[in-house]
Structure 1
Amino acid sequence: MSTRAAISSDSFFIAGGTLRRDAACYVARAADEDLYSALHRGAICYVLTSRQMGKSSLMVRTAARLREEGFSITVLDLTGLGQNLSSEQWYNGLLERIAQQLELEDELEEFWFDHKHIGAMQRWMAALREVVLPRCPGKIVIFVDEIDSVRSLPFSADEFFAGIRELYNRRTHDAELNRLTFCLLGVATPSDLIRDTRTTPFNIGHRIQLTDFTEHDAAPLCEGLSANPDTARRLLKRVLHWTGGHPYLTQRLCLTLAQERASTPAAVDRICQELFLSQRARQHDDNLTFVRERILRSEVDAISLLTLYANIWSGKRVRDDETDPLISVLRLSGITRSHSGTVEVRNRVYRHTFDREWVQTNLPGAEVRRQRAAYLRGLKLAMAIAVPLILGIAVYAYLSVYRVKTTIEPYRAKAPEPPVFWASFTPPSAVAAETGALLVKSSEGNALVFINDREYGRTSHSGTLLLQVLQPGKYTVRVEKPQFQSVVQTAEVLANKETQLLFKLQKQIVLSTALAVRQGVPGAKISIDAVDVGTVQPDGTFSADVRPGMHALTFAKDGYLSRQINQEFLLGKQVVLDGQLRPDVELQNWLALANSHDPSALEAYLRTYPSGRFADQARARGEELEWNTLRNTRDLVALDRFLNKYPQGRYNSAARALAARLQQEEFDWRTAHNGKDPGALQAFLKTYPESPYVEDARAELRKLQTVSTAAAPVHSDDAQAVRATLMRFSQAFTQKDANQLAAVWPSLHKQELNKIRTSFRDAESIQMDLKFSDPQIDGAHATVTCLRSLQYIFKGGIRKSESSTVTIQLGKQAGQWMIESVQ
């Protein structure tokens, strides 16, 4: 309950507010045992009913019982989280409250910030599974109170309910989840909270029915009414006569009876009249105000709703249909209840307060009818006063004129000079001639007057305008005013006479129809034919007048996917549209990853949205992160993989330069190592002081300095011949000459040679560069370490480059050096 608590002097009765577990006035109902038993066996429960029915008190009492049996209990009041939140803030707020109540602040906070790469809802569910369940032995119940407040969130809460359902469904695979369950409480219907029946938890949950007090249920209240048991029973019976057992109305009436020491049923009637049935009570009582506002400000059609309620009030049989939105509004307001399959007014307090007159008063157009009736009453009174007065003035005027005519020579007045504006388009001769006057009387003041399509002036506030100088003749007179229909009349002006014209202006009839938006996202902008017409209200509604015809409507808000609708509007018919928007999940996922340092998370995002709006940014971010891990690497394989992955990337040039340096270093090391030349090793150490081969180079250098070796002399002619063979090998690729390649490499397998022939035909050009060290010649065998660079250019300008360090083995056959292998 949301109203303030009022506690009697002896603290027995409490009217409004959540009752303490030990409150003496708590009335146990069948729902108490039903909820306790269902949660005990692990069922998901929901208590959805009108306000001030005892939902929160039931929750407190049940939570205390379960806590005494070793259950871990958390209570989440969603109104305390606020409404102007992002989904990230909202789910974090839920987890913070769970952490405080279960004393898991550090663990859950660490988990939340360590898993920012996943969505807020998934993070919340994962925290329950991976932190709360392992650290809380026994069963866990999460009470979610004021669940209807999710309808005011700026994002859809459908995934919250879908998550609860998923936790339930996973019980078949994860037995630990049998220890976790939920209880949802609020003022809503399941369809108000989530529309997709495939993901709603309500069709798998257990519904708890909160009913009004029966006389048997309410018997404990007698203790606080009177020390005399008979008197207490009579008072309670009369209380229930009025309240029908409604929890708040019953407690409130009993509280006042106890305070005033009432002892008779008549006193109950008097106090009930003061508390609920008086005009002041109707305007100020919290419960009556809620019922009234819930009905008059609902999202359904007001006329249909009030007409249905009038039928129920009159005793007509109306079937209780839970799928009917009108009946759902009446039920959640608390004004009606179901009885034997039909709907009836809940109690006599409501029946007297919200009667037929109240319905008529609040029907659309009632204010207009009230003003019209007041106007007619005022008009009758004014006429009753004015008619005798007008008759008296008329008689006096007639007698005065008669005396003047019989005593004074008639005097013909000279026609007045026309106003400057009128004279500006009136011929000078017309002023001197005999003229007439025209008096224009309009039902509206400040209206424009046109004579023969020429503007003359405006009527006064009282609606009159006198044209004193007009040539005798016929004139076309037009009177106009914005938002009124113009009226045209013909007037004949006679010399030396005043002609009067009466104009009654009518409001323009705007041919339009009405647009009504329901369940929209608060703050969403609505445009019609690319023209902004307003934003959705905090309660999710919007209305506007629209001209008949086909129109393009757009609903848009940051964080949501825009929605466009082509809708035909027919004159006189209201168009009701569902204003829900789907959250922009791609945007939310990208915002969660925009500052991520996890390349795998970005790759997962790209697999989900390979052509998404942020795919290029994700690839650029992924390349940056990978390059940051490779910029100091010595792994040529990783660099080659990076270059193939980002061939046109931002760091492509830097990666190629690093690969070239590493290949050159590798080539220089092999050359120095295989050459057994102290000078070459010293040059390598000077050039590459940070090389991983530094220790090997120093060890090899020490070995050469301490061990003298008699190296076989290398004939300069053989070294020159080896270099010539390598040059022919390189030219064979550059010239795409497979025969020359076979000549210098006769042991090349025929199948491999055919593959090379095919690559020669496919490429428009090939360039091979070989950088080789001095040959190591041992008799008829030679070994050369080379840095080989190959570049292919195919049709269409497609390029392919390869760089690697290779070892070429050569053999001397019949005085000629031939290639034996390339590794």
Structure 2
Amino acid sequence: MIDSDYQIGGSLAQDAPTYVVRKADSDLYSQLQKGNFCYVLNSRQMGKSSLLVRTRYRLQQEGFQCATLDMTRIGSEMITSQQWYKGIASELWRGFNLLGKFNLKNWWKEEEDISMIQRLSNFIEDILLTKFPEKKLIVFVDEIDSILSLNFKVDDFFAFIRFCYNQRAINPEYNRISFALFGVATPSDLISDRSRTPFNIGKAIELEGFTFNEVQPLIQGLEHKVSNATTVMREIIKWTGGQPFLTQKICQCILDSTQKSINQTLTIPPGTEGFWVESLVRSRMIHKWESQDEPEHLRTIRNRIESNQEHLGRILGIYQDILKGLDVQIDDSKEQSELILSGLVVK
């Protein structure tokens, strides 16, 4: 860690030295190990994709067959429902390394007389479960919120996931396949027909900010740069609330500010760590914040809030109450959900 930089944004590799293990790591791993359907729905830059990468690696080491569907790769604009469903089958074909072992184009054409969702179902049952006998399969679906840009409904896709779960009582082979969804959305955003939702049979994985007891990997990167690294990290957490992107960014700002002191630790007088961190945050992140918002994070939050013109006044009113320290009861309203998904607040 001593010679490494912190990673600001993007998925961390499974062996990244700055990866912070949280409760969600064990929760997701244990639930998928049991074969449960899981979903991780949260705001941007909370470490969802990094959690996916690390969990997938752990399960693969135990013999699970895993594939990742990045829904942005399939596309969401100027795409038909047939292209979308075929895109899912194609990504599964590639993800489970079936290139050269199975002719997807011919098979898809042979199935053209049935619905898209039935083709996808047949692909799971006739191809995947057959090609991998005895193996447990896990499909990780990342960026699931990209479906919100589609010009057609995909309730059938979620009904298909529920079908796979219900089939376990009829066909035990379906016990071998599980799904995990990741994205910036709420269950009600993703599916319009609540009677068909799979989320009442799935396990919600709560992905929260770093706690001070979890950030030892980040502290190690500061120990040879500043004195009192543990106290400095405690002050950083006070500013970020443990939000992963902002926490990593402040740590990197500290490394950047001490680059001139090669092989020399910057001494911060005991008791002044809070003032020192505050000065750094104000100068490197708050002052002229738009020009310093690289990689972009705060501007994305602002743009998301401002784009919701219909609910903007109510959203800002709730946020103002929170800033005043008033108690705000959770009611799962559209406005509260938008505040949470923006990353401005947590439950």
TM-score w.r.t. structure 1 length?
0.39
Deviation at 1:120, TM superposition (A): 1.5
The aligned residue for residue 185 of structure 1 is 182
The aligned residue for residue 88 of structure 2 is 94
Q: Among the aligned pairs, what percent are the same residue? A: 40
Provide the rounded CA distance (Å) in 2 between the counterparts of 1:269 and 1:307: 27
Q: Write the deviation string for residues 579-609 of structure 1: whole angstroms up to 9, x where unpaired.
A: xxxxxxxxxxxxxxxxxxxxxxxxxxxxxxx
Deviation at 1:303, TM superposition (A): 1.3
Matching residue within 275, 287, 291 for 2:284: 275
3-state SS, counterpart of residue 27 of structure 2: helix
Deviation at 1:299, TM superposition (A): 5.9
Tell whether the 8 Å contact from 2:306 to 2:312 is kept in structure 1 after alignment: yes
Using a 3 Å threshold, how does the CA distance of structure 1 residues 128 and 220 change in structure 2: closer, same or farther?
A: same
1:597-608 matches, within 5 Å, as: none
The aligned residue for residue 23 of structure 1 is 16
Deviation at 1:275, TM superposition (A): 2.9
Deviation at 1:10, TM superposition (A): 2.7
Matching residue within 156, 169, 174 for 2:171: 174
The aligned residue for residue 262 of structure 2 is none
Provide the rounded CA distance (Å) in 2 between the counterparts of 1:263 and 1:123: 64
The aligned residue for residue 60 of structure 1 is 53
The aligned residue for residue 227 of structure 1 is 224
3-state SS, counterpart of residue 15 of structure 1: coil
Q: Write the deviation string for residues 676-718 of structure 1: whole angstroms up to 9, x where unpaired.
A: xxxxxxxxxxxxxxxxxxxxxxxxxxxxxxxxxxxxxxxxxxx
Provide the rounded CA distance (Å) in 1 between the counterparts of 2:292 and 2:252: 20
Provide the rounded CA distance (Å) in 2 between the counterparts of 1:236 and 1:172: 50
Tell whether the 8 Å contact from 1:300 to 1:326 is kept in structure 2 after alignment: no
Specify every segment of 5 or more residues in structure 1 that has no aligned partner in the other structure, as ranges: 1-7, 339-823
The aligned residue for residue 34 of structure 2 is 41
Letter of the structure 2 residue corresponding to residue 111 of structure 1 = W
Task: Tell me if 1:238 matches 2:232.
Answer: no
Which structure's residues are more often strand, by fraction? 1
Matching residue within 9, 13, 18 for 2:6: 13
Tell whether the 8 Å contact from 2:290 to 2:299 is kept in structure 1 after alignment: no
The aligned residue for residue 521 of structure 1 is none
Deviation at 1:9, TM superposition (A): 9.4
Task: Tell me if 1:330 matches 2:339.
Answer: yes
Deviation at 1:278, TM superposition (A): 1.2
Provide the rounded CA distance (Å) in 2 between the counterparts of 1:263 and 1:194: 54
Provide the rounded CA distance (Å) in 2 between the counterparts of 1:254 and 1:51: 19
Provide the rounded CA distance (Å) in 1 between the counterparts of 2:292 and 2:242: 22
3-state SS, counterpart of residue 318 of structure 1: coil
Matching residue within 323, 326, 343 for 1:316: 326
The aligned residue for residue 209 of structure 1 is 206
1:280-299 matches, within 5 Å, as: 280-281=289-290, 284-285=293-294, 286-298=296-308
Tell whether the 8 Å contact from 2:285 to 2:292 is kept in structure 1 after alignment: no
The aligned residue for residue 114 of structure 2 is 118
Letter of the structure 1 residue corresponding to residue 179 of structure 2 = F
Letter of the structure 1 residue corresponding to residue 337 of structure 2 = S
Deviation at 1:139, TM superposition (A): 0.5
Provide the rounded CA distance (Å) in 2 between the counterparts of 1:263 and 1:136: 58
Provide the rounded CA distance (Å) in 2 between the counterparts of 1:236 and 1:263: 15
Using a 3 Å threshold, how does the CA distance of structure 1 residues 43 and 61 change in structure 2: closer, same or farther?
A: same
Deviation at 1:315, TM superposition (A): 1.1
The aligned residue for residue 160 of structure 2 is 163
Using a 3 Å threshold, how does the CA distance of structure 1 residues 275 and 122 change in structure 2: closer, same or farther?
A: farther
Tell whether the 8 Å contact from 2:285 to 2:293 is kept in structure 1 after alignment: no
Q: Write the deviation string for residues 321-356 of structure 1: whole angstroms up to 9, x where unpaired.
A: 22x111100000010112xxxxxxxxxxxxxxxxxx
Provide the rounded CA distance (Å) in 2 between the counterparts of 1:121 and 1:212: 37
3-state SS, counterpart of residue 198 of structure 1: helix
Provide the rounded CA distance (Å) in 2 between the counterparts of 1:263 and 1:59: 38
Deviation at 1:294, TM superposition (A): 1.5
3-state SS, counterpart of residue 303 of structure 1: helix
The aligned residue for residue 44 of structure 2 is 51
Provide the rounded CA distance (Å) in 1 between the counterparts of 2:54 and 2:323: 35
TM-score w.r.t. structure 2 length?
0.91
Tell whether the 8 Å contact from 2:284 to 2:292 is kept in structure 1 after alignment: no
Letter of the structure 2 residue corresponding to residue 122 of structure 1 = Q
Deviation at 1:11, TM superposition (A): 2.5
Which structure's residues are more often helix, by fraction? 2
3-state SS, counterpart of residue 144 of structure 1: strand
Using a 3 Å threshold, how does the CA distance of structure 1 residues 47 and 270 change in structure 2: closer, same or farther?
A: same
Deviation at 1:300, TM superposition (A): 4.1
Deviation at 1:268, TM superposition (A): 2.1
Using a 3 Å threshold, how does the CA distance of structure 1 residues 86 and 299 change in structure 2: closer, same or farther?
A: farther
The aligned residue for residue 490 of structure 1 is none
Provide the rounded CA distance (Å) in 2 between the counterparts of 1:282 and 1:192: 32
Tell whether the 8 Å contact from 2:24 to 2:205 is kept in structure 1 after alignment: yes
Tell whether the 8 Å contact from 1:282 to 1:289 is kept in structure 2 after alignment: no
Provide the rounded CA distance (Å) in 2 between the counterparts of 1:166 and 1:28: 33
Letter of the structure 2 residue corresponding to residue 95 of structure 1 = A
Provide the rounded CA distance (Å) in 1 between the counterparts of 2:80 and 2:336: 33
Large movers: runs of 4+ above 4 Å: none
Deviation at 1:107, TM superposition (A): 3.9
The aligned residue for residue 690 of structure 1 is none
